[in-house]
Amino acid sequence: MNHEYYVKYAKLAVKVGINLQKGQDVVIRASTACSEFVTEIVKECYANEARSVSVEWSNDGIERLKLIHESEETLSKVLDWQEAKAKYNAETIPCSIYVDDSDPDALQGVDMQKYSNIRVARYQVLKPYRDQSENKDQWLIIAVPSVAWAKKVFPNDTDEEAVRKLWEAIIKTTRLDGDDPVEAWEKHIAYLKEKSQKLNDLNLDYLTYHSSNGTDLTLKLQPNHEWLSARETSLQGYEFSANMPTEEVFTMPKRDGVNGVVVSTKPLSLQGQLVENFKVTFKDGKAVEVVAEKGQHVLETMLNMDEASRYLGEVALVPFNSPINETGILFSNTLFDENACCHLAFGAAFKNNIKGYETMTEEQFKEIGFNDSVNHVDFMIGSEDLDIIGTDHEGKTYQIFKNGVWAI
């Protein structure tokens, strides 16, 4: 990897991604394998006058050993200092950057039931702190290749060649290849904003999906929904871009308003295992039946983690000709694969997809059926002949997607 790209990438992450403001704290979460790149991010944070920068290191191999050798009870317990840290972060609202290089197979062979029980137990303790800081902070997920991830994507290449190819794909899809990535991002953000604005102006009641693969779905949108895209504004008033790359325009489905069948169009990488060729049947919002050619068990385990996992938290529109899809690569990483085509997400919804969420109480979120879950799992349903029709409250229809791409 050319060092020049590390510098460009770090600058893009700090200036456009979290849009760091003078005097803010930054927490970077990254694996020990990316220390050279993380050092560049740290430098860039100080160059933009961060008050403090902390790095929380992780390591896939060690996480895996812990999951195998420590008991469910030990791993489920949130230690006092861990809770104190969550409380401190909820009060000080640092910006966070998560550098993802995870091996899609990292958890293969780990007891999935044990793993999901641990996640549910920890989530319950840490949730109040997460709720407290939700939407207040500027955050970002970006990715760099690890050998394990690159080999999963390019299994027939040498380690070096696989990493080089994955870097190439990341550089292209995150728009790092031009002279001025910051400017390229500003243009891209404006393009996506135009789409979300059009959808917000239509104020649709529901969407209907049709594809020759068998997808036949009616999806009601949450009343007062707001379509969002690449640029969000935190409750502290700072703009930021949470995902790099991003191609999606997304909002909140009505919890009990989804009916019909959707067919997956890309494998889903879930807790270290691939779920392939699956079909989901929804009735009044609930995924009542899932049939997968591969990975049925891991999909069911995820859906059974809590009641809300069987309901949708997000509907996202991404054209089938997105730069990510055009690479022809299955990344086995949600950050990339979810930006390859239209998707839905099981589980948690985003509060800022509702107009006026800033002043809503937890009670009001409950009343409108806000879907709150330990999971947020995106799965891809876009295809080259996907048609999406939007219908407004007067029954007027609009072609939103035609043959897999934007029609508005």
Pattern 197-236, binding to Zn ion, x per CB under 5 A?
A: ----------------------------------------
- Alpha carbons 124 and 120: distance in angstroms, whole number: 6
Answer yes or no whether residue 45 interacts with Zn ion by CB under 5 A. Answer: no
Shortest Å, Cβ 331 to Zn ion: 14
- How does strand 312-317 pair with strand 52-58? unpaired
**The one among 316, 318, 377, 400 contacting Zn ion by CB under 5 A:** 316
Shortest Å, Cβ 233 to Zn ion: 18
Residue found by looking up tokens 């939700």 in the block: 134
- Alpha carbons 105 and 61: distance in angstroms, whole number: 11
User: By CB under 5 A, which span of 22-30, 90-98, 312-320, 327-335 interacts with Zn ion?
Assistant: 312-320
Shortest Å, Cβ 283 to Zn ion: 23
In this complex, which beta carbon is closest to Zn ion, that of residue 169 or of residue 335? 335
Q: Which H or E run contains 218?
A: strand 216-221
In this complex, which beta carbon is closest to Zn ion, that of residue 148 or of residue 199? 199
Shortest Å, Cβ 105 to Zn ion: 23
In this complex, which beta carbon is closest to Zn ion, that of residue 243 or of residue 301? 243
- Alpha carbons 379 and 309: distance in angstroms, whole number: 13
| Burial (CB count <10 Å: 0-12, 13-18, 19+), residue 22 | exposed
Q: SS3 for 289? A: strand
Shortest Å, Cβ 232 to Zn ion: 12
Shortest Å, Cβ 344 to Zn ion: 9
Report DSSP letters for 118-130, one per residue.
HHHHHHHHHHHHH
- Alpha carbons 97 and 139: distance in angstroms, whole number: 6
- Alpha carbons 96 and 130: distance in angstroms, whole number: 13
Total residues found in the chain within this entry: 408
Q: Which H or E run contains 367?
A: helix 362-367
Shortest Å, Cβ 318 to Zn ion: 8
- Alpha carbons 311 and 283: distance in angstroms, whole number: 10
In this complex, which beta carbon is closest to Zn ion, that of residue 85 or of residue 376? 376
> What distances in angstroms separate CA 133 from CA 99, 130, 139, 386, one per listed residue?
20, 5, 11, 37
Count of residues of this chain found to bind Zn ion when the rule CB under 5 A is applied: 3
In this complex, which beta carbon is closest to Zn ion, that of residue 118 or of residue 318? 318
In this complex, which beta carbon is closest to Zn ion, that of residue 67 or of residue 377? 377
Shortest Å, Cβ 280 to Zn ion: 16
Q: Per the omega criterion (within 30 degrees of 0), is the bond before 323 cis? A: no
Residue found by looking up tokens 């730069």 in the block: 323
> What distances in angstroms separate CA 62 from CA 38, 39, 57, 161, 371, one per listed residue?
19, 22, 11, 26, 33
In this complex, which beta carbon is closest to Zn ion, that of residue 248 or of residue 387? 248
Shortest Å, Cβ 325 to Zn ion: 15
Shortest Å, Cβ 311 to Zn ion: 16
Amino acid at 334: T
In this complex, which beta carbon is closest to Zn ion, that of residue 75 or of residue 230? 230
**Residue 322, both tokens:** 């997105």
In this complex, which beta carbon is closest to Zn ion, that of residue 290 or of residue 380? 380
Return the residues of window 335-354 that contact Zn ion according to CB under 5 A.
Answer: 338
The alpha-helical segments, DSSP class H, found in 236-304 are 296-303
Beta pairing partners, 99:
142
Instruction: Output DSSP code: residue 231.
Output: -
In this complex, which beta carbon is closest to Zn ion, that of residue 18 or of residue 381? 381
Return the residues of window 239-278 that contact Zn ion according to CB under 5 A.
Answer: 248
Residues that bind Zn ion (CB under 5 A): 248, 316, 338
